């Protein structure tokens, strides 16, 4: 018996997997066969591989996100969070952005919550760290870095300058290496417009606990990427970690201490902690444990994929799991969507199997590394050609034709026009100036008469006149 007039397919999460799975289901579904409901606290999906370019100003932030309601016009999109799941009753509790929580019945469930930043209890990190998981953080980082250049250019205090022009990045994977490469590129360009700031005044520091960076592209390309960043004046410290960063005073495990206003944390991700409240079988690291069909183990009406799922990697062999990247998320979402339709109609489930096609990374304008896999052959590229491969792959993978064209337009304009170096940090508190002007204290101060002048001051004015 259905929980609604027609079966409801509840998709928890509107990220890469949630969006593509919902699109696939709607495409394969007969008219009126089921209701597809997508619940996410944001009304858009973020294409995370483009966050470093958005932080550097190479792509407009609005072109990195895809509005769910526009792309899923036949789905029910709810802006809120699923706080708990009652599997026995097949009911989810939805907490909207405003108002009381309510119960939402479902017949089939897709878990696509994705991942969040993996952090550690490091003193000062919560107060001073900047993440790179969302477009808001990318915009904030860009504005913040440019504001530091503004501060350094306008002060004569050497300590303030040094702290403003020191940028620390923790994490040497894709997110960390790409972000520091793009931001250093932007800061180098921006310094041309500051008479009192040069690239030599800036200090960029990359820290990683591993013995290499960019492990996804292999040791040789990772080493080339490391040497490339070092040639650009970026300090790289491997086999070390950050012990503390209280008040911007960064202390590394290797003994290095620096003062910095900018501490960017990109040291990996972990499954969304909300999964612990769903009553699903979880793996050792908190991922939802699934079959090769993407069905959650022990169920026949729940599927999971992407960063929050522990999916067997059949292309590698027994005991291997699919890594959390966009390449797998895209392909898993299609198989998941087909399996939801098959499960609803009582047909057999298909297994997910995908061989790695390689990896690409951009390290700034015209700089990158790429490893392309053709069968048993691996093609390794670096420099400008790898950068073209990076943009080509992600340009094709970007959801919707609308966003592909907009991103391509940004890239094309960037070939002829200089990068914008304007900081719009005030947009984070857009009402502050109006509030100060409209507050009762300000109004009272403006209406208060000026204090009476002392006789001596009146005599001085009389002489001057």
CA-to-CA separations, 412 to 336, 364, 417, 419, in angstroms, rounded: 35, 16, 9, 12
For the stretch 274-321, pLDDT in tens is: 999 999 999 998 999 999 999 999 999 999 999 999 999 998 888 899
Calpha distance 305→16 (Å, rounded): 10
Residues with Cβ < 8 Å from 165, sequence gap 6 or more? 148, 149, 152, 197, 201, 202, 203
pLDDT band for position 3 (50/70/90)? Answer: very low
115 and 158 Cβ atoms separated by less than 8 Å: no
Least confident among 35-39, 173-177, 266-270, 365-369: 266-270
pLDDT higher at 142 or 375: 142
258 and 246 Cβ atoms separated by less than 8 Å: no
What pLDDT shows up at residue 429?
A: 76
Alpha-carbon dihedral of residues 285, 286, 291, 296, nearest 10 degrees? 170
Give 105's strand partners. 91
129 and 123 Cβ atoms separated by less than 8 Å: no
Does residue 465 have a pLDDT over 60?
no
For the stretch 218-241, pLDDT in tens is: 899 999 999 999 999 999 999 999
Calpha distance 245→161 (Å, rounded): 18
User: Measured in Å, how far apart are the chain's first and last C-alpha atoms?
Assistant: 95
Does residue 353 have a pLDDT over 60?
yes
Instruction: For 360, list phi and psi in degrees, rounded to 5.
Output: -135, 145
What pLDDT shows up at residue 424?
A: 79
Q: What is the mean pLDDT of residues 370-397?
A: 91
Q: What is the mean pLDDT of residues 360-379?
A: 90
User: How many CB atoms are located within 10 Å of the residue 321 CB?
Assistant: 16
pLDDT band for position 426 (50/70/90)? Answer: low
What pLDDT shows up at residue 263?
A: 98
Calpha distance 181→183 (Å, rounded): 6
pLDDT band for position 2 (50/70/90)? Answer: very low
pLDDT band for position 430 (50/70/90)? Answer: confident
Residues with Cβ < 8 Å from 77, sequence gap 6 or more? 14, 37, 38, 40, 43, 68, 69
What pLDDT shows up at residue 1?
A: 36
Percent of the chain scoring above 70 in pLDDT = 93
pLDDT band for position 378 (50/70/90)? Answer: confident
Q: Which two tokens stand for residue 432?
A: 């502050």
* 3-class secondary structure, 15: coil
Max avg pLDDT among 171-175, 374-378, 424-428: 171-175
Residues with Cβ < 8 Å from 198, sequence gap 6 or more? 191
Query: 77: number of CA atoms within 13 Å, CB side?
Result: 20
Residues with Cβ < 8 Å from 389, sequence gap 6 or more? 360, 368, 370, 372, 381
pLDDT band for position 442 (50/70/90)? Answer: low
Does residue 451 have a pLDDT over 60?
no
Does residue 88 have a pLDDT over 90?
yes
Sign of torsion, CA 43 49 54 58? negative
217 and 368 Cβ atoms separated by less than 8 Å: no
Calpha distance 51→40 (Å, rounded): 20
CA-to-CA separations, 82 to 97, 103, 151, 310, in angstroms, rounded: 11, 9, 42, 20
Q: What is the mean pLDDT of residues 64-92?
A: 96
What pLDDT shows up at residue 100?
A: 96
Q: Which two tokens stand for residue 385?
A: 């050609």
Query: 167: number of CA atoms within 13 Å, CB side?
Result: 30
17 and 114 Cβ atoms separated by less than 8 Å: yes
Calpha distance 87→71 (Å, rounded): 29
Instruction: For 171, list phi and psi in degrees, rounded to 5.
Output: 120, 120
pLDDT band for position 362 (50/70/90)? Answer: very high
- Helix spans in 40-173 (H): 51-56, 68-71, 125-128, 135-154, 158-164
Q: Which residue do the tokens 């410290």 mark?
A: 237
pLDDT band for position 420 (50/70/90)? Answer: confident
Helix axes 384-397, 401-416, angle to 10 degrees: 150
CA-to-CA separations, 171 to 20, 24, 47, in angstroms, rounded: 29, 34, 20
DSSP 8-state assignment for residue 352 = P
For the stretch 121-150, pLDDT in tens is: 999 999 999 999 999 999 999 999 999 999
Across all residues in the chain, what is the average pLDDT? 91
What pLDDT shows up at residue 297?
A: 95
For the stretch 328-344, pLDDT in tens is: 998 999 999 999 999 99
Phi-psi region of 3 (alpha: psi -120 to 50; beta: other; left: phi over 0): alpha
Does residue 463 have a pLDDT over 80?
no
Calpha distance 264→277 (Å, rounded): 30
For the stretch 21-55, pLDDT in tens is: 999 999 999 998 999 999 999 999 999 999 999 99
pLDDT band for position 385 (50/70/90)? Answer: very high
Tell how far CA 105 is from the center of its chain. 31
Q: Which two tokens stand for residue 69?
A: 């309601």
Indicate the pTM of the whole model. 0.89
CA-to-CA separations, 258 to 167, 200, 252, 370, 465, in angstroms, rounded: 10, 16, 9, 33, 57
CA-to-CA separations, 376 to 216, 327, 355, in angstroms, rounded: 17, 18, 11
């Amino acid at each position: 018996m259905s929980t609604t007039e027609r079966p409801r397919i509840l998709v928890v999460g509107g990220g890469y997997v949630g969006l593509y799975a919902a699109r696939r289901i709607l495409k394969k579904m007969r008219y009126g066969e089921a209701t597809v409901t997508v619940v996410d606290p944001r009304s858009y999906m973020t294409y995370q591989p483009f966050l470093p370019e958005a932080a550097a100003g190479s792509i407009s932030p609005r072109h990195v996100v895809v509005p769910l309601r526009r792309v899923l016009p036949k789905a029910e999109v709810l802006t809120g969070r699923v706080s708990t799941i009652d599997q026995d009753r097949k009911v989810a509790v939805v907490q909207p952005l405003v108002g009381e929580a309510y119960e939402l019945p479902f017949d089939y469930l897709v878990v696509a919550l994705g991942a969040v930043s993996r952090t550690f209890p490091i003193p000062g990190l919560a107060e001073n760290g900047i993440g790179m998981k969302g477009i808001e953080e990318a915009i904030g980082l860009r504005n913040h870095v440019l504001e530091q250049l503004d501060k350094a250019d306008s002060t004569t205090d050497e300590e303030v300058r040094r702290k403003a022009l020191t940028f620390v990045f923790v994490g040497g994977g894709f997110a960390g290496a790409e972000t520091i490469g793009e931001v250093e590129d932007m800061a180098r360009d921006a310094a041309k417009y500051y008479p009192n700031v040069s690239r030599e005044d800036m200090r960029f520091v990359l820290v990683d606990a591993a013995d290499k960076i960019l492990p996804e592209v292999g040791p040789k390309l990772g080493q080339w990427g490391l040497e490339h960043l070092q040639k650009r004046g970026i300090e790289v410290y491997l086999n070390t970690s950050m012990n503390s960063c209280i008040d911007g005073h960064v202390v590394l495990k290797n003994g290095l201490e620096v003062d910095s206003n900018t501490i960017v944390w990109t040291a990996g991700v972990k499954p969304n902690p909300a999964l612990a409240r769903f009553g699903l079988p979880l793996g050792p690291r908190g991922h939802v444990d699934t079959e090769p069909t993407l069905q959650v183990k022990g169920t026949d009406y729940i599927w999971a994929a992407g960063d929050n799922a522990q999916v067997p990697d059949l292309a590698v062999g027994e005991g291997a799991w699919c890594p959390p990247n966009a390449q797998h998320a895209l392909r898993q979402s299609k198989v998941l969507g087909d399996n939801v339709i098959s499960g609803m109609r009582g047909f057999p489930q298909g297994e997910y199997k995908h061989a790695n096609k390689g990896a690409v990374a951009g390290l700034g304008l015209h700089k990158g590394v790429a490893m392309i896999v053709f069968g048993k052959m691996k093609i390794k590229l670096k420099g400008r050609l790898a950068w073209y491969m990076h943009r080509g792959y992600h340009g094709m993978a970007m959801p919707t034709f609308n966003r592909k064209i907009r991103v391509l337009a940004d890239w094309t304009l960037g070939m002829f026009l200089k990068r914008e170096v304007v900081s719009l940090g005030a947009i984070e508190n857009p009402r502050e100036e109006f509030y100060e002007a409209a507050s009762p204290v300000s109004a009272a101060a403006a209406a208060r008469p000026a204090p009476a002048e002392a006789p001596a001051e009146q005599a001085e004015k009389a002489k001057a006149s």
